[in-house]
């Protein structure tokens, strides 16, 4: 799987399909948590989120992991142009997320529109890796697509997802054929959902999670929103 083929075109493709919604989802929680010190971003893409993150947390040390060399080049170039003073704090790592293992611990983990590229078994493996890399009270920004329970919204989501999966399987070689749900695996690995937001009839979601080891025994996932 590699987004090299469409990396240069990804920005306009995203804008044509969703306008600014996906970027709103990516950045939804940046101002809602204390300043992060060590950040792990899986599948950063072309660097738009990274620049927003570095603007908010200029002292953060950031590891960006992506399988696409072209996307990493675009992210590097964007930071160099927009925030050159922050570039020394960023490591760009070309790795397959499934086979790569983090070597450090992070107080902020980010998975923006990346888990949808993998099947359920791979998503579970990735989440276990995130849990191993998380500090005891680490936050997780998770933005992705989802399917609503409401009939019209559900039909809307299924049509869009069918089109997107066909396109990305053809152009990037992603392995997934349908959305995997990370919720249960996150709860099993000590993450609790603090708040969530939805856009586009529920098709796009952004969630704020936090690692809490006591939640593993309790086996609970909060459905409440603390930020409104």
Residue 226 lies in a domain: no
What are the tokens at 194? 């603090």
Alpha-carbon span 151 to 48, nearest angstrom:
33
- Compute the CA torsion angle 140, 144, 150, 151 (nearest 10 deg): -160
| Segment 92-102 mean pLDDT | 94
Q: What are phi and psi of 186, to 5 degrees?
A: -65, -45
Residue 192 lies in a domain: yes
Residue 227 lies in a domain: no
Alpha-carbon span 207 to 68, nearest angstrom:
25
What are the tokens at 138? 């680490």
CATH of the domain at 34: 3.40.50.150
Average pLDDT of the chain, as a whole number: 93
| Segment 96-107 mean pLDDT | 93
- The crossing angle, in degrees rounded to 10, of helices 48-56 and 69-82 is 40
Residue 102 lies in a domain: yes
Judged on CB neighbours under 10 Å (0-12, 13-18, 19+), 79 is: buried
What are the tokens at 153? 């919204």
Q: Closest Cα partner for 199 from 11, 6, 67, 19?
A: 19
Judged on CB neighbours under 10 Å (0-12, 13-18, 19+), 187 is: buried
Helix (H) or strand (E) holding 199: strand 191-199
Number of domains in the chain: 1
Q: In this predicted structure, what is the pLDDT of residue 175?
A: 82
Cα–Cα distances in angstroms (integers) from residue 170 to residues 5, 46, 98, 173, in the given order: 11, 20, 20, 6
pTM: 0.92
142-163 pLDDT, tens digit per residue, is 999 999 999 999 999 999 999 9
Residue 60 lies in a domain: yes
Q: Is the pLDDT of residue 4 over 70?
A: yes
181-200 pLDDT, tens digit per residue, is 999 999 999 999 999 999 99
Q: Closest Cα partner for 115 from 207, 28, 202?
A: 207
Cα–Cα distances in angstroms (integers) from residue 102 to residues 34, 38, 216, in the given order: 23, 12, 22
Alpha-carbon span 209 to 164, nearest angstrom:
26
Residue 223 lies in a domain: no
Q: Which domain holds residue 174?
A: 4-218
pLDDT confidence band for 216 (50 / 70 / 90): low
Q: In this predicted structure, what is the pLDDT of residue 215?
A: 56
Residue 31 lies in a domain: yes
């Amino acid at each position: 799987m590699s987004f090299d083929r469409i990396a240069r075109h990804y920005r306009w493709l995203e804008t044509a399909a969703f306008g600014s919604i996906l970027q709103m989802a990516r950045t939804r929680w940046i101002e809602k948590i204390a300043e992060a010190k060590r950040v792990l971003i899986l599948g950063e893409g072309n660097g738009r989120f990274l620049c927003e993150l570095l603007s908010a947390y200029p002292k953060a040390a950031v590891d960006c992991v992506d399988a696409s060399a072209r996307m990493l080049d675009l992210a590097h170039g964007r930071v160099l142009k927009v925030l050159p003073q922050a570039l020394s704090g960023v490591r760009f790592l070309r790795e397959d997320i499934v086979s790569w293992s983090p070597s450090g611990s992070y107080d902020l983990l980010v998975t923006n529109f990346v888990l949808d590229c993998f099947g359920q078994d791979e998503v579970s493996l990735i989440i276990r890796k995130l849990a191993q890399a998380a500090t005891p009270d680490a936050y997780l920004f998770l933005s992705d697509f989802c399917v609503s329970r409401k009939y019209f919204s559900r039909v809307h989501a299924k049509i869009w997802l069918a089109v997107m999966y066909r396109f990305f399987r053809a152009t990037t070689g992603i392995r997934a054929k349908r959305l995997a749900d990370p919720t249960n695996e996150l709860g099993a690995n000590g993450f609790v959902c603090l708040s969530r937001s939805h856009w586009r009839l529920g098709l796009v979601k952004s969630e704020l999670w936090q690692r809490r080891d006591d939640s593993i025994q309790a086996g609970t996932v909060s459905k409440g929103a603390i930020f409104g």
